Amino acid sequence: MGQLEGKTALITGATRGIGHAMAKLFASEGADVAFVYRNSDDLAASVEDELKACGVRAKAFKSDVQDFQQVQTTVGEVVKEFGRIDILVNNAGITCDGLLLRMGEQQWDEVIDTNLKSAFNFVKACAPVMMRQRSGNILSVASVVGIHGNAGQANYAASKAGLVGFTKSVAKELASRGIRANVIAPGFVVTEMTAKVDPSVVEGWCAGIPMKRGADVDEIARAALFLVSDQSSYITGHVLDVDGGMGM
Ligand code: NAI
């Protein structure tokens, strides 16, 4: 029996990268998967089929995670379709890098809204559902950058650090209701997001990682599975580094 049998997971940004890897792993562990995507209808439909091939229910929902009202509507549709939400993964995120002196207001707002406000939007919409169920599990994808900072990523680092404070507060508020909330903080992961980074920069990153390489998306997904499954039933408010030793 799969570790997530009988559970419904809602994952944001699951058409590619880390979110896609989590969706596939959770489905292979028996979870029904609802996922949120922003643009690509064709890609979302093909991911839906891919997940259904695991023998679970899967459905894509088009929504902009930054938009409070859209998220309220989307979560309502997920509940209508699946009847419950056991696992929420706040994964969708962007970078829009630049040194502080050159960073514009829009560059700041876009990253904070996509990476941090999105988590508020989804937790606000999902918490009442989880409270009615008297159980739920929230996982947010932060970054080592949120813990250590990074030149050129003040907006991104602030959004990811914000997720840590947000999650710990939510964990304290909702623990007595049977709801856990945790964070994973990946280091460098090989995805489309990091593919746009200059190869010489990537080489520099790898040199600074004790394990001398970036993570595969499946390595992040497996850490996520631990935190959203009953294997971690006594863990809440925790930040799990999944970074090859980068943050030591
Ligand atoms: P990615 O760019 O491959 O995937 C991000 C997903 O989020 C995409 O499917 C995108 O469409 C979706 N998304 C972005 N803005 C959205 C919006 N407004 N509404 C709905 N969906 C939206 O990125 P990747 O690498 O898979 O990253 C996933 C998460 O992991 C992000 O939160 C990222 O910050 C975090 N992370 C990534 C690391 C890396 O090295 N790739 C390292 C540490 C954290």
Q: What pLDDT is attached to residue 192?
A: 82
Mean pLDDT score across all residues of the chain: 97
Kindly tell me if the per-residue pLDDT of 1 is higher than 80: yes
Whether the predicted model's global pTM rises above the 0.95 cut: yes
Q: What pLDDT is attached to residue 191?
A: 87
Both tokens of residue 89? 């993964």
C-alpha 54 – ligand 1 centre gap (Å): 24
Q: What pLDDT is attached to residue 89?
A: 99
> pLDDT class for 196, splitting at 50, 70, 90?
confident
- Residue 152 in contact with residue 198, Cβ under 8 Å? no
Q: What pLDDT is attached to residue 195?
A: 82
C-alpha 136 – ligand 1 centre gap (Å): 23
Ligand 1, residue 145: give the atom nearest the CA: 43
Kindly tell me if the per-residue pLDDT of 194 is higher than 90: no
Q: Which residues line ligand 1 (CB under 6 A)?
A: 12-13, 15-19, 36-38, 64-66, 91-94, 114, 141, 143, 186, 188-189, 191-194
pLDDT tens digits, one per residue of 115-168: 999 999 999 999 999 999 999 999 999 999 999 999 999 999 999 999 999 999
Ligand 1, residue 156: give the atom nearest the CA: 34
Ligand 1, residue 90: give the atom nearest the CA: 32
Q: Whose CA is nearest to atom 6 of ligand 1?
A: 13
Both tokens of residue 15? 């058409």
Instruction: State yes or no: is 156 an active-site residue.
Output: yes
Q: Can you give the three-state secondary structure of 113-136, one letter per residue?
A: HHHHHHHHHHHHHHHHHHHHHCCE
Radius of gyration, CA atoms only, the chain? 17
Query: Which one from 26, 156, 166, 188 is the annotated catalytic residue?
Result: 156
> pLDDT class for 205, splitting at 50, 70, 90?
confident
Kindly tell me if the per-residue pLDDT of 22 is higher than 90: yes
pLDDT tens digits, one per residue of 77-130: 999 999 999 999 999 999 999 999 999 999 999 999 999 999 999 999 999 999
- Write the burial class of residue 227 (CB in 10 Å: 0-12 exposed, 13-18 middle, 19+ buried): buried
Q: What pLDDT is attached to residue 197?
A: 83
DSSP assignment of 5-55 equals: TT-EEEEES-SSHHHHHHHHHHHHTT-EEEEEESS-HHHHHHHHHHHHTTT
Q: What pLDDT is attached to residue 147?
A: 95
